[in-house]
Amino acid sequence: MTEKAKDLLINYRDIINKLKEIGVIRTGKVVSDYGEYVASKKLRLKLANSSVNKGYDAIDKNNKKYEIKTRKATAWNRPKIFPIKQEQLESADYLVYVEFDDDWELVKLLKIPTNEITYNKHNRVIINKNLVEKYGIM
């Protein structure tokens, strides 16, 4: 390993540790943890005590449950679909879709009632224009 690569990895470790200290990162899954953090702040949700809670990631003041899914675009990939099993949403009242651009700017935030979700033949939810227009918060 080159010294430059090692230095970058050490910096990455230090940044992750700092993000954990301030409560932004809970598991080390940077994209999903940050998406849950941002969604909880924007929608005034309380994150579940366990970061690996089954069935939902957060609740609101009315005890409605939210499953939060996050995608981050990169220079080579723009998210449009994501896999989610129907069973993953059985306990949730809402699916929250969070999308960041390559600079970590929030570009999509959707709050979709789980009973409104349709899956394609490959068991994936497609974030299309209709969903964005109907359930987009921003």
Q: Provide the pLDDT for residue 67.
A: 93
Indicate if the pLDDT at residue 19 is higher than 90.
yes
The backbone region for 109, taken as left when phi is positive above 0, alpha when psi lies in -120 to 50, beta otherwise, is beta
Output the pTM of the full model: 0.86
Residue-range definition of the domain harbouring residue 93 = 3-135
| pLDDT 10s digits, 46-84 | 999 876 667 799 999 999 999 999 999 887 776 666 677
Structure tokens at 126: 């497609």
Given this model, what pLDDT does residue 1 score? 66
CATH number of the domain residue 41 falls in: 3.40.210
Cα separations in angstroms, 26 against 35, 43, 73: 11, 19, 21
- Strand boundaries in 16-122, DSSP class E: 46-47, 58-59, 65-72, 81-83, 94-100, 106-113
User: How far apart are alpha carbons 74 and 77 in whole angstroms?
Assistant: 5
pLDDT, residue 92, reads: 92
User: ∠ CA 83-85-90 to the nearest 5 degrees?
Assistant: 140
Q: What are phi and psi of 106, to 5 degrees?
A: -70, 120
Q: What percent of the chain has pLDDT over 70?
A: 93
Number of domains in the chain: 1
pLDDT digits (tens, 9 = 90+) for 89-134: 888 999 999 999 989 999 999 999 988 887 777 777 777 788 888 8
